[in-house]
Structure 1
């Protein structure tokens, strides 16, 4: 039968022994709590970080908010990817980078207005944007058509000149793909967007788009598809 070791010592010494054992444990507890708070603060900072040019959520903040929407609303949620057409020509044109920045800022404003206050809108980088919103399946096609029309409105730059713009739009929904996994939805929306490039219409992804080879949750070959890192 296993025996239990006991400390035989006067009460004062026993108290000293117990205190000596408790101090390291207390120190580790304080350290763990402090570390947890620092990590939580870092996560909040990343989630709140905004793109300085457009004011939209950065990738981390957008991803966090988008997951909340897809998890909560399921089949009534919609993930949308947007890529500006011929943006390099605008950036390299007479208006230069100032015109490009203006187009990006206006596009961000339009996306935010379309998504509403409860939607998640983020700039993934360059001229790529992502939106996750709650939209009833019966209204999806109409809302996506409205988005394409909105994004195709000319943009006024400094001096009053108008710049013609257009965007490719791809979307994905859990009820069609059978999942609320944001990585899968984003991969499908990205592939659908590419399939509809320069067509002037939004493409709603089906299961074939979700099967397109990807890296980091993005269609292989797209910016950001590095071999190291977590899926977006």
Structure 2
């Protein structure tokens, strides 16, 4: 019976079926390679180009529901000096994991040693005030989550994280650069404070250097530019 069925299957179909297994394996390999190249293995966050691509897609889909935050891990150098680089890595890894959990179906990116960003959304309500209140609560929840001690082999390690948030609805903007600018300025304004920063309209007019807030590392020798 099996011989009879085999004789009825075209040779080309058999060849395609045989080739499907290595092709499927190659596709899985390519996807895994893409994840490694677009992601940061330590924090579990995306690298900046992939984060920005996904963030723009989320903004297009969710508009005023979007909440974007910028995060700085405070005193990372001090952690490395006093606790060792393994402890510093643990702080980065824990911060990344907490951001991923907070963002849910959103996206998390790592832009530098201690600088990360996350984008998520809060389901819209009929009253914009309700949306803004829910977004502020979610931002406060993030600050509390990120400030929890990190477990290390030598015991719980205290961490400090500065957080700034930008609401697309509150600011009336729907483009990633201005949301990033607002969140970054709000974060810097409340640096080392026990509460998160909340971006306001004035924050969108902050001076920037090569797309980064004036005062950021690496901008001292660059040419200043006014926001668009």
TM-score class, shorter-chain normalisation, is: 0.7 to 0.9
Distance in 2 between the 1:201 and 1:186 partners?
19
Distance in 2 between the 1:224 and 1:112 partners?
27
Offset at 1:138?
Answer: 3.5
Offset at 1:149?
Answer: 0.8
Match of 2:119 in 1: 132
Contact persistence 1:47–1:58 (CA under 8 A): no
Q: 2:63 matched to 1:66?
A: no
Give the TM-score of the pair, scaled to structure 1: 0.73
Q: 2:103 matched to 1:103?
A: no
Contact persistence 2:71–2:163 (CA under 8 A): yes
Match of 1:49 in 2: 38
Offset at 1:223?
Answer: 3.4
Offset at 1:162?
Answer: 1.4
Match of 2:65 in 1: 76
Distance in 1 between the 2:183 and 2:49 partners?
18
- Picking from 118, 122, 142, the partner of 2:109 is 122
After superposition, the Cα gap between the structure-2 partners of 1:68 and 1:141, relative to the gap in structure 1 and judged at 3 Å, is same
Q: 2:185 matched to 1:191?
A: yes
Gaps of 5+ in 2: 1-29, 124-131, 224-228
Select between 136-145 and 76-85 the one with higher mean Cα deviation: 136-145
Partner of 2:183, secondary structure, is: helix
Offset at 1:142?
Answer: 1.1
Partner of 2:111, secondary structure, is: strand
Distance in 2 between the 1:224 and 1:49 partners?
23
Match of 2:23 in 1: none
Gaps of 5+ in 1: 1-40, 228-232
Offset at 1:182?
Answer: 0.6
Match of 2:167 in 1: 173
Offset at 1:168?
Answer: 0.7
After superposition, the Cα gap between the structure-2 partners of 1:147 and 1:75, relative to the gap in structure 1 and judged at 3 Å, is same
Distance in 2 between the 1:86 and 1:57 partners?
22
Match of 1:9 in 2: none
Offset at 1:109?
Answer: 0.5
- Picking from 204, 216, 223, the partner of 2:217 is 223
**Matched residues, number:** 184
Give the TM-score of the pair, scaled to structure 2: 0.74
Contact persistence 2:135–2:167 (CA under 8 A): no
Distance in 2 between the 1:46 and 1:158 partners?
29
Contact persistence 1:184–1:210 (CA under 8 A): yes
What CA deviation, in whole Å up to 9, does each residue of 1:206-225 have, x standing for no partner? 01111100123320121365
Contact persistence 1:168–1:193 (CA under 8 A): yes
Offset at 1:48?
Answer: 5.7
RMSD of the alignment, in Å? 2.4
Contact persistence 1:156–1:162 (CA under 8 A): yes
